[in-house]
């Protein structure tokens, strides 16, 4: 079905039993987010909030809450997008199977943005920021945020929609030092297209015009998060996926999406920043207050009829943005393996916060004539992965080759078992220090700063992983996570100097033990919690450790600047003093919504 706007989508979802209405008045301060989290956790429907305290507009969340619902929303053109990816990967397919791709002509037409010469006031009412649903999601958030924005900017050297960027970067509407109705915060991270546009504007000492679209057909929201190749406009993708051309016009020099429910226009001036945050983010911790560009608000518009504010709530995964990632993977298929030769499969592990942990399967074809099997091509592929777009923000990369083609990056426990059985800790650990990591990851040495490690494994099985906790830990607080991996509870982290002493003592304790079947020791604050579920292990281990600072090993050594260890690998995943605090729900709000509504799954 082709949706002209967000309202059409919600009508369709309700007809098909995929939307519930909250008719009671709800508070945008924590209550709406808490309700969303309850419904999403239960695998529930999209939620339409009909009555918001101190606001005349409705809001909707959890539209993309499940992969099944997302595919239902895009059912009309889902296969066409997959075919477009096929064509990009292998253009010869069109010549070999021309009739299979006839439907792409319609998709190509829909992908062309359509400029309308119209007065914006025929479509929108002009309002102010304080009239919007000012939703605060987590108790320590610095104010109200837009969590599903489509942030539009243009290249000042090549203006126009053809060279535009549409990205999803959170927007802070209130709080901190922002002057309400006049200023909002624009948070964007590394490797984002808007950064290139602002750099060009800054170099010419002129402000960058920015438009923030909220709502519109669901394809517009998805387009804003799609990892599209250089030169392909998100507006083209939005039209092709939605089966409807992206309608726009210009007003006061700003691009206006005529399909959006709300539009905020404004300018970002060179070197004009203000503190943004804190914000409860998708790693399960607060991203703290930092200086980011401030946007001077020019005008705010709301659609004249049926204007609905879409939002989501992020937190420790899995959340609604998990379904976004699953949908992107379904749409793009093997595109990444065509971009990176030798790469067969990649999983940015959602439970670990996406960027902190990548699992990859590659090829090993460089030295088939050698008897000894060891990572060679895998290291080349690793460098390509860590030099590609947002993959370059990864922190831990486990990569292996599977000659039998039976391994899956999505079967995480089996993948770890395969790698840990084969990795040579004296040879196969490769660090990058003092480099860039995810802006939201506070395990490093500063904002965007930290380290990376590649753990490559290939060859014959070197160890049979233990399935019980070794006897030398009988007097310790230790738990088994999976074969060859245990958690070890230690005192709270004090400092890195103190940790060096603790690890020296642990090394002395273990270096004389026979532990060849124990591959990985996770030092943590709560051994039972970390080992209780696979997701707990992934979340704690890879969000609370910085490879260069927190990886140790039994009988470790440095030889010609290469680090390795002759015994078990140790990762210190305790909470450090510089880490951001984890997000915790507000008990009073939770009790209030218990009696506020009964929701249906």
| CB atoms closer than 10 angstroms to residue 210 | 26
Q: Which CATH architecture has domain 321-457?
A: 3-Layer(aba) Sandwich (3.40)
Same fold flag, 6-316 and 471-572 = no
Domain locations in the chain? 6-316, 321-457, 471-572
Q: Give the Å distances, CA to CA, from 436 to 254, 392, 452, 543.
A: 33, 8, 9, 15
Helix (H) or strand (E) run with residue 594 in it: helix 587-596
- Joined together, the tokens standing for residue 264 give 């905020």
Q: Give the Å distances, CA to CA, from 372 to 422, 460, 565.
A: 13, 9, 20
Least confident of 66-80, 156-170, 331-345, 455-469: 331-345
Is the CATH code 2.30.110.10 the one for domain 6-316?
A: yes
Rounded distance, CA 287 to CA 441, Å? 8
10 Å CB burial of residue 259 (0-12, 13-18, 19+) is buried
CATH: 3.90.550, 3.40.1670, 1.10.287, 1.10.3470. Which one for 471-572?
3.40.1670
Rounded distance, CA 273 to CA 189, Å? 14
- Identify the three-state secondary structure at position 84: helix
pTM of this prediction exceeds 0.85: yes
85 and 338 Cβ atoms separated by less than 8 Å: no
Q: Is the peptide bond preceding residue 3 cis, with omega within 30 degrees of 0?
A: no
Question: Which pLDDT band, with edges at 50, 70 and 90, does 297 fall under?
Answer: very high
Q: Give the Å distances, CA to CA, from 300 to 103, 296, 522.
A: 38, 11, 50
DSSP letters, 440-509, are T-TTSSBTTEEEEEEEEE-SS------SS--GGGTTS-EEEEETTEEEEE-PPP--HHHHHHHHHHHHHH
According to DSSP, the residues that pair with 559 across neighbouring strands are: 562
Rounded distance, CA 396 to CA 545, Å? 10
Question: pLDDT per residue over 300-355, tens digit each?
Answer: 999 999 999 999 999 999 999 888 888 888 887 666 777 889 999 999 999 999 98
| CB atoms closer than 10 angstroms to residue 261 | 24
Rounded distance, CA 179 to CA 296, Å? 9
**What integer is the mean pLDDT of 370-393?**
90
Question: pLDDT per residue over 456-470, tens digit each?
Answer: 999 999 999 999 999
Rounded distance, CA 216 to CA 260, Å? 4
Helix (H) or strand (E) run with residue 413 in it: helix 412-422
- Joined together, the tokens standing for residue 405 give 């083609």
142 and 187 Cβ atoms separated by less than 8 Å: no
Question: pLDDT per residue over 499-557, tens digit each?
Answer: 999 999 999 999 888 898 999 999 999 999 999 999 999 999 999 999 999 999 999 99
**What pLDDT is recorded for position 580?**
93
Residue identified by tokens 């709560």 is 526
């Amino acid at each position: 079905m082709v949706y002209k706007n967000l309202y059409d989508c919600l009508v369709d979802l309700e007809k098909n039993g995929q939307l519930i209405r909250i008719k009671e008045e709800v508070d945008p301060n924590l209550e709406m987010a808490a309700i969303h989290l309850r419904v999403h956790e239960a695998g529930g429907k999209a939620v339409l909030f009909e009555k918001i305290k101190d606001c005349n507009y409705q809001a909707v969340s959890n539209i993309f809450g499940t992969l099944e619902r997302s595919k239902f929303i895009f059912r009309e053109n889902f296969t066409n997008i997959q075919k477009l990816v096929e064509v990009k990967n292998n253009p010869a397919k069109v010549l070999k199977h021309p009739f299979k791709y006839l439907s792409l002509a319609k998709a190509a037409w829909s992908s062309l943005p359509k400029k309308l010469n119209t007065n914006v006031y025929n479509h929108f009412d002009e309002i102010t920021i304080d009239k919007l649903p000012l939703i605060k999601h987590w108790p320590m958030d610095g104010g109200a945020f837009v969590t599903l924005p489509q942030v539009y900017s243009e290249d000042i050297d090549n203006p126009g929609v053809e060279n535009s960027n549409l990205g999803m970067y959170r927007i802070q509407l209130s709080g901190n030092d922002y002057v309400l109705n006049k200023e909002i915060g624009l948070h964007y991270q590394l490797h984002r297209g808007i950064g290139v546009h602002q750099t060009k504007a800054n170099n010419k000492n002129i402000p960058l015009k920015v438009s923030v679209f909220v709502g519109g057909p669901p394809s517009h929201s998805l387009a804003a998060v799609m990892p599209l190749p250089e030169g392909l406009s998100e507006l083209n993708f939005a039209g092709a996926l939605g089966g409807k051309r992206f309608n726009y016009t210009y007003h006061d020099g700003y691009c206006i999406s005529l399909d959006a429910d709300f539009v905020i226009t404004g300018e970002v001036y060179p070197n004009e920043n203000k503190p943004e945050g804190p914000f409860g983010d998708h790693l399960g911790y607060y991203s703290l207050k930092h200086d980011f560009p401030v946007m001077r608000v020019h005008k705010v518009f709301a659609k004249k009829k049926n204007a609905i504010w879409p939002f989501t709530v992020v937190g420790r995964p899995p959340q609604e943005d998990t379904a976004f990632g699953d949908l992107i993977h379904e749409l793009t298929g093997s595109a990444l393996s065509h971009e990176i030769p030798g790469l067969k499969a990649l999983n940015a592990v959602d439970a670990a916060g996406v960027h902190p942990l990548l699992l990859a399967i590659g090829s090993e074809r460089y030295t088939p004539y050698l008897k000894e099997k060891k990572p060679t091509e895998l290291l080349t592929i690793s460098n390509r992965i860590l030099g590609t777009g947002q993959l370059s923000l990864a922190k831990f990369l486990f990569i292996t080759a599977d000659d039998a083609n039976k391994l899956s990056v999505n079967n995480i426990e089996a993948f770890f078992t395969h790698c840990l059985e084969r990795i040579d800790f004296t040879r196969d650990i490769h660090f990058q220090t003092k480099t860039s990591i995810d802006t939201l990851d506070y395990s490093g040495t500063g904002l965007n700063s930290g380290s990376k490690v590649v753990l490559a494994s290939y060859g014959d099985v070197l160890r049979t992983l233990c399935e019980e906790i070794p006897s030398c830990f009988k007097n310790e607080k230790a738990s088994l996570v999976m074969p060859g991996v245990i958690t070890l509870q230690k005192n709270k982290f004090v400092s890195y100097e103190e940790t060096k002493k603790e690890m020296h003592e642990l090394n002395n304790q273990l270096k004389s033990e026979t532990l060849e079947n124990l591959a990985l020791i996770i030092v943590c604050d709560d051994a039972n919690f970390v080992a209780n579920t696979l997701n707990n292990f992934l979340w704690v281990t890879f969000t609370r450790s910085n490879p260069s600072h927190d990886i140790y090993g039994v009988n470790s050594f440095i030889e010609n600047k290469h680090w390795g260890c002759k015994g078990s690998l140790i990762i210190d995943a305790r909470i450090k003093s510089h880490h951001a605090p984890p997000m915790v729900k507000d008990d009073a709000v939770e009790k209030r919504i218990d009696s506020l509504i009964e929701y249906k799954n």
